[in-house]
Every structure is written in structure tokens, then in C-alpha cells.
Amino acid sequence: MKFISAATLLLSLPAAAAFGTHAATFKLRSPSSALFVSPETFYRAVELAEGRHVATMNELDELATELEEFVGCKFEEDSGKEICDKEIQDRVDVAEILRLKIELQLRMDYLKNGNLFAADVIKEHDAEERRKCKEALKANRDKVDTGAGLGLW
């Protein structure tokens, strides 16, 4: 039976999940899973980071984790160490963008569903719009000449 220390467990959690306010489940991956990532996975991660498609928070988290756990270079492995290090840093940047998309989605959900300030602003705006509409209707009614035939014009 393997025992995992609390420190190892905390370090294995993605950064966004460690401080997030949402409940999420994470599965520990075996170290060998980081040795191979399909080209489709890399492509999907880049597409999502660029904003070309929409994904669930779980998919964003899984892709970010795969990018973070991948060891070494995939495309620049025959280049020098400096170029390989740049590929690694750029891959980590894509993972961070995916994590930021998760955080933004959580914040947008809160803004729409739980933010008191936003709810008050929308409520006040709607009341003001109704008031303006009622005033415009009343002004139009006052312009109608009731003595001219049918009163349509």
C-alpha cells in the first residue's frame, strides 16, 4: 500500500484549484502518464487557449494538467537546450491561460448568480428603463389629437 504525504498531495493539485472557492475533484495521475501526450491534446489545448472553442472547466483543467505534467520537449527536442527550455515555458504559459479561463468562468458565474453589486445595478437600470418607457408612452398619448377622425394619426 502506498502512502502519500500531505505535502505531496497539495503540491500535486493545480494552482487554481488550491485557492479556488469551488468544489472540484482531482485524480492523481501516475508518473508515466506525463511521458506521452497525443498531438490532438496539444492542438486542443492551444485552440482553447486562443479562444477558438469553448470547453467545460473539467476539460480545461485536464488539458492544463497534462501540459504541466509533460516532461521535456515534444517539438524542439532536436534543438539546443535554450530552444527546448523556451518550448517548455511556452507550454506552461498555455496551461496557465487554460487555468485563467477556469478562474474567469468561475468569476463570471458568480457575477451572474451571486454578486450583490451586479444584481443591484441591473435592478436599478431596469427600473430606470421602465420609468423612461412609461414617460415616452405618456408623452406619445398626450400628442394624439382625439378630435381628428379615428384618432390613429
Q: Any residues with CB less than 8 A from the CB of 71 and at least 6 apart, and which?
A: 34, 35
Alpha-helix runs per DSSP H in 13-56: 15-19, 39-50
Predicted TM-score (pTM) of this structure: 0.60
Per-residue pLDDT of the chain (153 residues; tens, 9 = 90+): 333 433 343 334 444 444 444 444 434 344 434 557 788 999 999 999 999 999 999 999 999 999 999 888 888 777 888 998 999 999 999 999 999 999 999 999 999 999 999 999 999 999 999 999 999 998 888 776 555 555 555
- Tell me what pLDDT residue 9 has: 38
- Tell me what pLDDT residue 139 has: 87
- Tell me what pLDDT residue 101 has: 96
- Tell me what pLDDT residue 76 has: 74
